Amino acid sequence: MAAIALYSDAFWISPWVFSCFVGLREKALPFEVAEVALHKKEQLQGGYAGSTLTGRVPALRHGDFWLAESSAILEYLEEAFPPPGHPRLLPEGLTDRARARQLLSWMRSDETLPIRHERSSETLFYPGSPVRPLSANAQGAAAKLYEVAGRFLPRDDASVFGSWSIVDAELAFLLHRLIAGGDAVPEPLRRYAGAQWLRPSVAQYVAHARVPFVRYF
């Protein structure tokens, strides 16, 4: 099989790298992680920007093929290593798969941006990172997240679709931003996010050793 590499930020805090890392682990594919020091603008140096077109992380290299954008990477992995020969990242049923794509897209949308902006991902992995009270705008975004998640979650504490999918990892990441910020996340969602953090593919990313954080954005 052609070698696979996942290009990550050096602090292991990118939600988009997280999702691709979890996807690769869930597919049980051998891969290496190559760190790109965004704080040193390494993404703009060498051939990285040219190979990825956009010069961002994550990027996937599969043999000679380079691909950036986490959603494109996840879709590529699902097609290049499809179920049933490989574990699935998206649910089995057509309508569940469509729903999963809806939720993945929504979780990356403008409606959750205030949460991502005010609950930056380093707060999940670098205890003691400064956290301010949410603005009214971000409180509204969090309330909408709780409302939306409450509509589809959970049939059980384990997964949105009855068996694990990448939606669970991404939803848990979003909820953990608020949990880490000390925000009033409803108990069922808090329990669900806690359970997701124990999944081996996820726990491996969360527990990865991290060098001291340097703010670069």
Which chain residues interact with ligand GSH by CB under 6 A? 9, 14, 16, 38, 43, 55-58, 69-71
If the CB atoms of residues 43 and 112 are measured against ligand GSH, the closer one turns out to be 43
If the CB atoms of residues 25 and 56 are measured against ligand GSH, the closer one turns out to be 56
Shortest CB 187 distance to ligand GSH, Å:
30
Task: Report which residue's Cβ sits closest to ligand GSH.
Answer: 56
- Alpha-carbon torsion 139, 160, 190, 151, what sign? positive
55 vs 46: CA distance, rounded Å: 10
If the CB atoms of residues 154 and 202 are measured against ligand GSH, the closer one turns out to be 202
Q: How far apart are the first and last CA of the chain?
A: 37
If the CB atoms of residues 73 and 149 are measured against ligand GSH, the closer one turns out to be 73
From residue 19, alpha-carbon distances to 4, 25, 57, 214 in Å are 16, 10, 12, 22
Closest by alpha carbon to 6, among 79, 67, 64, 55? 67
